[in-house]
Amino acid sequence: MPYSDAQGKDWALATYLSIAPSTVIDIGAGAGTYAKLMRPHHEAHWTAIEAWFPYVTEFDLDDLYDQVTIADVRHLGWNQQVVDMAIAGDVLEHMTRTEASELIRWLKAIAKALLVSIPVLHLDQDAVNGNPFERHVDHWTYEAMLAELGPGVVDTWRGDVLAYYWWTRPDQHGKGTG
The domain that holds 19 is classified in CATH as: 3.40.50.150
Phi-psi category of residue 30: left, alpha or beta, with phi > 0 → left and psi -120 to 50 → alpha: left
Average pLDDT over residues 111-116: 95
What is the number of structural domains in the chain?
A: 1
Between 138 and 28, where is the model more confident?
Answer: 28
Q: Is residue 146 part of a domain?
A: yes
Q: Is residue 81 part of a domain?
A: yes
pLDDT at residue 173 is higher than 70 = no
pLDDT score of 77? 67
Q: Is residue 28 part of a domain?
A: yes
pTM: 0.83
Q: Is residue 177 part of a domain?
A: no
Q: What letter represents residue 132's amino acid?
A: P
| CA quadruple 74, 78, 84, 87: dihedral, nearest 10 | -10
Q: Is residue 178 part of a domain?
A: no
pLDDT at residue 119 is higher than 90 = no
Highest mean pLDDT among 132-136, 138-142, 146-150: 146-150
Q: Is residue 30 part of a domain?
A: yes
- The contacts of residue 167 (CB under 8 Å, 6+ apart) are 108, 113, 114, 115, 116, 149, 152, 153, 154
How many Å apart are CA 38 and CA 17, to the nearest integer? Answer: 8
Boundaries of domain holding 159: 9-172
Between 137 and 153, where is the model more confident?
Answer: 153
